[in-house]
Amino acid sequence: MCCCFLKPVYKDRILVTASQKLNNGYDYNIVTVVLLTEVLKLVISSLLYCREHKPKDLIIDIVKDRKVLVLYFVPAFLYCLYNNLAFINLSSFDPTTYYLLLQFRVVVTGVLFQVIFKKSPKQETMDIFNYIDIWLYVKASELHQIGDTVSTKY
């Protein structure tokens, strides 16, 4: 079931990487694309809501629960910012390095969780952290070897 949720994410990142020019730039404004994507999601979710409720109910609920709406804007803004940073990072790093750095945040979160809440994670969680660490070390050594090859070539 988890793979069903991951497929659209990876497909999205593959499309982002495939649309790059040779100089790792884009022929379009990346901020505009991300904002239009978020607006499209809002429109689709509103239409889905209106399938089961009247459009008038949507407006009434927005006005009635405007405090909750404002609270939802915080994670929505952070998500939009995250998507913009993904474009920037994908133009700076190759996709494999980018995904490894994304996985590294899992390790950092786990360590912070352990320190802040003074809880030790389960053994299987520690195994996952160790696999991610090994993956990061292998990738870093590959990048180091590529850097050595490039520097000796020029």
User: Is the pLDDT higher at 148 or at 101?
Assistant: 101
Residue 70 reports pLDDT greater than 60: yes
User: Is the pLDDT higher at 118 or at 53?
Assistant: 53
Q: What percent of the chain has pLDDT over 90?
A: 16
Distances in Å between the alpha carbon of 124 and those of 30, 65, 90, 110, 130?
Answer: 39, 41, 31, 12, 10
CB 139, CB 97: distance < 8 Å:
yes
The token duo for 57 is: 């109910």
Residue 3 reports pLDDT greater than 80: no
Question: pLDDT confidence of 18, banded at 50, 70, 90?
Answer: low
| Highest mean pLDDT (candidates 18-22, 76-80, 141-145) | 76-80
Residue 154 reports pLDDT greater than 90: no
Mean pLDDT of 66-81: 87
